[in-house]
Amino acid sequence: MTVTRTLVLPASELRERFSRSGGPGGQGVNTADSRVELSFDLAASPSIPAHLKQRMLDRLAGRLVDGVLTIAASEHRAQLQNRAAARERLAVILREAAAPPPPVRRATKPTRGSQERRIASKKRRADTKRGRGRSGAWD
């Protein structure tokens, strides 16, 4: 399964479990095992580089159970479609977890023109509000 151009997971590292799914399906819903649970052991995976693995473990800490990421898909009536949906969802989650952190924002001072525009607009607003006094006359 391709996650990024440089990160490819072998199918042998993915585990699939099938069960009955709720929702639409008519009479077949009680007999067909169309729900898919796709599990990937992120902590023990040899195909993920060490620096990426630590970043992914940190970002997915809330979703992992003993280092295993599990995705459930039951939105389709067919098992094949649910398998494809689960794999696609897993790829998206791993892609986002492996993405490099955003660049650090460096604080900058506001420009002199922006400061002057801000003060001028505050004065205009204050004058507008001052003109709404009880007397109704401008001072």
pLDDT by residue (tens digit) across 66-121?
989 999 998 888 889 999 999 999 999 998 998 998 999 999 999 999 999 999 99
Give the position of tokens 């002199």: 112
Domains of the chain: 2-98 (3.30.160.20)
Report which secondary-structure segment, H or E, holds 68: strand 68-73
Per-residue pLDDT at 136? 56
Question: Is this prediction's pTM over 0.85?
Answer: no
Rounded distance, CA 33 to CA 76, Å?
A: 11
- Which amino acid, one-letter code, is at 95? R
pLDDT for res 48: 87
CA–CA gap between residue 21 and residue 126 (Å, rounded)? 63
Instruction: Note whether 68 and 15 are within 8 A (CB).
Output: no
> pLDDT for 1-49, tens place per residue?
788 888 888 888 889 888 887 666 666 666 778 889 999 998 888 888 8
